């Protein structure tokens, strides 16, 4: 959960009556998000956790799945950004980035998708990035991560479609900034439009 796409998506879906469960590292920021959203009439609850800590994140996911077996939408929006060309990447940093950019999404899917299969429906959203398609050298770690999570989304979409579960990703090919093509509110509207799309017309990826 962050102040850009994450907050905009919560607001967009919250206006439609959804309750949101927010995950981020900083408990104080989560509390501030909760208060802001509450003033707008949107129900939310924050959970402080570092997604790079696989054991802690897995434990939180299991708790959320147990408490909310009817969770309708899983949105993975986490991303780590540490610029460096391939030959200069610090291996510990790369491992941490990959856990955030890819492994966290896999853990979340492995926790919630089986329950969606049992119910016969659900939606999984993943926020992607344009570096998955262009792979600039100075963004090697991010590019590998975004390519990985994009392919994870497409693999999940193929696995889940027969079970009535829709999986989609929006690949954002620019810097997220208000008032631009990449305005977080616009991206949130696209996610809402995707959510309203029937399975027969579903598109697995929107490239923005």
Indicate the burial class of 162 (C-beta count within 10 angstroms; 0-12, 13-18, 19 or more).
exposed
Whether residue 190 has pLDDT greater than 90 = yes
| Short-list 129, 144, 76, 65, CA closest to 104 | 76
CA distance 24 to 2: 7
Query: What tokens does 201 get?
Result: 């017309």
Q: Which domain holds residue 31?
A: 5-207
**With a threshold of 0.75, does the pTM exceed it?**
yes
Whether residue 173 has pLDDT greater than 90 = no
- Region 14-36: what's the mean pLDDT? 94
Instruction: Say if CB 84 and CB 140 are below 8 A apart.
Output: yes
Q: What is the CATH number of the domain that holds 97?
A: 3.40.50.720
Domain count for the chain, please give it: 1
CA distances from 195 to 21, 95, 208 (A): 18, 32, 17
- What is the DSSP pairing of strand 205-207 with strand 165-172? parallel
Whether residue 132 has pLDDT greater than 90 = no
């Amino acid at each position: 959960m962050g102040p850009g796409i994450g907050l905009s998506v919560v607001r967009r879906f919250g206006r439609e009556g959804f309750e949101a469960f927010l995950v981020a590292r900083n408990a104080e920021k989560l509390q501030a998000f909760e208060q802001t959203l509450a003033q707008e009439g949107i129900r939310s609850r924050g959970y402080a956790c570092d997604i790079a800590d696989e054991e802690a994140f897995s434990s939180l996911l299991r708790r959320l799945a147990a408490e909310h077996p009817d969770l309708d939408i899983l949105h993975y929006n986490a991303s780590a950004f540490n610029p460096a060309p391939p030959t200069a990447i610090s291996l510990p940093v790369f491992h941490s980035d990959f856990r955030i950019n890819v492994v966290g999404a896999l853990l979340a899917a492995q926790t919630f998708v089986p329950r969606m299969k049992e119910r016969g429906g659900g939606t999984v959203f993943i926020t992607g990035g344009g570096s998955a398609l262009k792979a600039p050298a100075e963004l090697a770690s991010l590019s590998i991560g975004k390519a990985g999570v994009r392919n994870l989304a497409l693999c999940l979409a193929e696995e889940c479609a027969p079970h009535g579960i829709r999986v989609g990703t929006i690949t954002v090919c620019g810097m997220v900034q208000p008032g631009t093509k990449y305005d977080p509110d616009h991206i949130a509207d696209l996610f809402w439009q995707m959510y309203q799309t029937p399975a027969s017309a579903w598109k697995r990826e929107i490239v923005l």
